[in-house]
Structures are given as C-alpha cells and as structure tokens.
C-alpha cells in the first residue's frame, strides 16, 4: 500500500511540474516569426482557394523567382519598415482609413530618398507578382484567395469637360 501511495504522489508531482512546461512550449510555438519569404502568404492563399497542383507549383515557382528580389528591395527600407507598420497600426486604431491613413504614416516616418526608392521598388515587385498569380487563377479562385491583381497603374483617367 505504501508503494502505491508513493507512486501516486510522485506521479502527481511529475504532472504538476510538466504541465506548466508544456504550456510554455505552446506559447513559444504561437509566437513564431512569419516565414522569411514575404510571398509565402500568397502561396498559402492560393492553396486554400482550391487551386490544382499544377497552378500551385507555378505560383510557388513565381514566389521563388520574386521572393529574393522583393527581400532585397525591402532591405533598402532598413528599420523604417517596422516604424511604418507601427505608425500604420496606431493610425488605424485612431480610425483613419485610406489616404488619411497613408498621410499619417508618411508624417510619422520620414523616409530618405533611398528608402522611398526601395519602397517603390518593393511595391512594384509585389504588384508584378500579384498580377502574375492572378493570371494563373480562375475568377472564383481569385475571389476565394482574396488576391488583388495589383494593376493599379492601368486605370483610365477621366477627362474633364471643357467649361
């Protein structure tokens, strides 16, 4: 009887020690960083949208092609990218949207000419990637994935009437 009581006590003690350790490991797993490839989220969206294996392989190939270029372009921003994200979150929390949000971020983070060029380059590469991905998908898949084509530069401007 004493042996059973000792065994039960030791087992309870081991569980009391192991439970908090397991909980800490779960917290560490939740706090993992995003993947180093910034285009991995788009690839995941395409997979979740129900694209066939051939299309997914093509999108992964595009991500491998554009990923290093985009990462290199974003390096030019330095730590300004993090500051911009923080400023964007703060402005969004204040209820700002659209151009008002962009202006608040621009006012909070003053970019140098090199950083502005790097940002423009990164945006152009992201837009090209998104356009290439959208060209591979059906309209239903595009809607399910929530990917925009990135063709913002081809909008037609309205002509003003002569008064």
Report how far residue 43's alpha carbon sits from residue 55's, in angstroms, rounded to the nearest whole number.
10
Looking at residue 138, what is its pLDDT?
82
Closest to 38 (Cα-Cα) out of 134, 153, 129, 143 = 129
Record the tokens describing residue 107, joined without a space.
């006012």
pTM: 0.61
Instruction: State mean pLDDT over 25-46.
Output: 68
Is pLDDT of 163 > 50? no
User: Taking phi first (over 0 means left), then psi (-120 to 50 degrees means alpha), and beta for anything else, what does residue 78 get?
Assistant: left
Residue holding tokens 């898949």? 141
Nearest to 155 by CA among 127, 117, 132, 122: 127
Residue 76 CA to residue 55 CA, distance in Å, equals: 32
pLDDT tens per residue across span 104-135: 888 888 888 888 888 888 889 888 988 888 88
Q: Which two tokens stand for residue 131?
A: 């356009």
Q: Within 13 Å of residue 81, how many CA atoms lie on the same side as its CB?
A: 12
Q: How many residues does the chain have?
A: 163
52-86 pLDDT, tens digit each: 888 888 888 888 888 888 888 888 777 777 888 88
Question: Rounded to the nearest 5°, which phi and psi values hold at 150?
Answer: 75, 20
One DSSP character per residue, 46-58 reads HHHTT--HHHHHH
Q: Does 17 have pLDDT greater than 70?
A: yes
């Amino acid at each position: 009887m004493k042996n059973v009581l000792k065994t039960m006590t030791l087992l309870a003690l081991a569980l009391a020690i192991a439970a908090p350790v397991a909980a800490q490991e779960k917290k560490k797993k939740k706090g993992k960083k995003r993947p180093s490839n910034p285009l991995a989220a788009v690839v995941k969206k395409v997979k979740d949208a129900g694209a066939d294996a051939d299309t997914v392989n093509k999108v992964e190939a595009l991500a491998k092609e554009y990923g290093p270029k985009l990462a290199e372009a974003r390096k030019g921003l330095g730590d300004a990218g993090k500051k911009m994200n923080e400023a964007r979150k703060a402005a969004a929390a204040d209820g700002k949207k659209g151009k008002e949000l962009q202006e608040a971020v621009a006012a909070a983070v003053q970019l140098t000419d090199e950083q502005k060029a790097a940002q423009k380059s990164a945006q152009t590469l992201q837009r090209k990637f998104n356009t290439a991905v959208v060209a591979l998908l059906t309209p239903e898949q595009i809607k399910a994935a929530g990917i925009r084509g990135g063709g913002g530069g081809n909008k037609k401007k309205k002509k003003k009437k002569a008064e």
